[in-house]
């Protein structure tokens, strides 16, 4: 009699492990459909450049004149800065220092053009201003001096019948800044 009880306990453990494996396989297959297979990317040919800039490091003002020289329109951009010449990756977000205008505003960490998707067409240029002292934007002053900036364009594009906001990391622009007194 004692041997039969031991066998039934072992069968119970085997059934428990088998059921757990089957349930985990079902959950894995169900969740696999929610993870995107490929990252969203911008088409080749998204590009822009800084036509001119003015960086006054004593008054902490930065003015950028940017031109879309690519083949596609863009909806906005992300902008980051470095405050050290030794820092390679720009990690300080400059959107809190952006002086908003009637045609642009900060939305979710990006500077967006108002009035429609992909508003800035190839050949368009615009001027943006940043108050790094924080006086006109309500942000805390920029820590130190800006040595370089990185600008990443973004656009809205149709993916699987839905409009998606896509960051164009492959078209990132990096510019070192010189202080103009």
Number of domains in the chain: 2
In this structure, the answer to whether residues 10 and 64 fall within a common structural domain is: no
* 30 alpha carbon, distance to own chain's centre: 29
In this structure, the answer to whether residues 26 and 84 fall within a common structural domain is: no
In this structure, the answer to whether residues 116 and 139 fall within a common structural domain is: yes
Please check whether residue 40 lies inside any domain of the structure. no
Please check whether residue 43 lies inside any domain of the structure. no
In this structure, the answer to whether residues 17 and 56 fall within a common structural domain is: no
In this structure, the answer to whether residues 23 and 92 fall within a common structural domain is: no
In this structure, the answer to whether residues 94 and 168 fall within a common structural domain is: yes
In this structure, the answer to whether residues 54 and 125 fall within a common structural domain is: yes
pLDDT along the chain (181 residues), means of 10: 64 93 95 77 87 90 92 92 86 90 85 84 91 86 89 87 85 87 64
Please check whether residue 80 lies inside any domain of the structure. yes
What confidence score (pLDDT) does residue 5 get?
Answer: 59
Residues 6 or more apart whose CB falls under 8 angstroms from that of 96 comprise: 106, 134, 137, 139
In this structure, the answer to whether residues 67 and 148 fall within a common structural domain is: yes
What confidence score (pLDDT) does residue 88 get?
Answer: 83
In this structure, the answer to whether residues 17 and 81 fall within a common structural domain is: no
- Is residue 145 within 8 Å of residue 136, measured between CB atoms? no
In this structure, the answer to whether residues 2 and 24 fall within a common structural domain is: yes
Please check whether residue 52 lies inside any domain of the structure. yes
Here the CATH number for the domain that contains residue 120 is: 2.60.40
Domain that holds residue 26: 1-35
What confidence score (pLDDT) does residue 6 get?
Answer: 57
CA distance 1 to 104: 82
pTM: 0.76
What confidence score (pLDDT) does residue 2 get?
Answer: 55
């Amino acid at each position: 009699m004692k041997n039969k009880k031991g066998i039934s306990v072992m069968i119970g453990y085997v059934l428990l492990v088998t059921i757990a494996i089957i349930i985990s396989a079902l959950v894995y297959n169900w969740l696999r459909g929610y993870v995107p297979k490929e990252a969203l990317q911008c088409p080749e040919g998204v590009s822009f450049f800084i036509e001119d800039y003015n960086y006054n490091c004593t008054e902490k003002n930065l003015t950028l004149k940017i031109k879309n020289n690519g083949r596609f329109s863009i909806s906005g951009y992300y902008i980051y800065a470095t405050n050290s010449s030794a820092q390679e990756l720009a990690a300080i977000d400059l959107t809190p220092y952006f002086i908003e205008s009637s045609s642009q505003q900060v939305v979710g960490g990006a500077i967006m053009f108002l009035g429609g998707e992909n508003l800035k067409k190839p050949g368009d240029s615009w001027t943006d201003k940043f108050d790094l002292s924080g006086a006109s934007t309500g942000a805390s002053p920029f820590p130190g001096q800006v040595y370089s900036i990185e600008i990443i364009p973004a656009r809205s594009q149709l993916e699987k019948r839905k409009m998606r906001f896509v960051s164009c990391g492959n078209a990132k622009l990096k510019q070192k800044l010189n202080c103009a007194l």
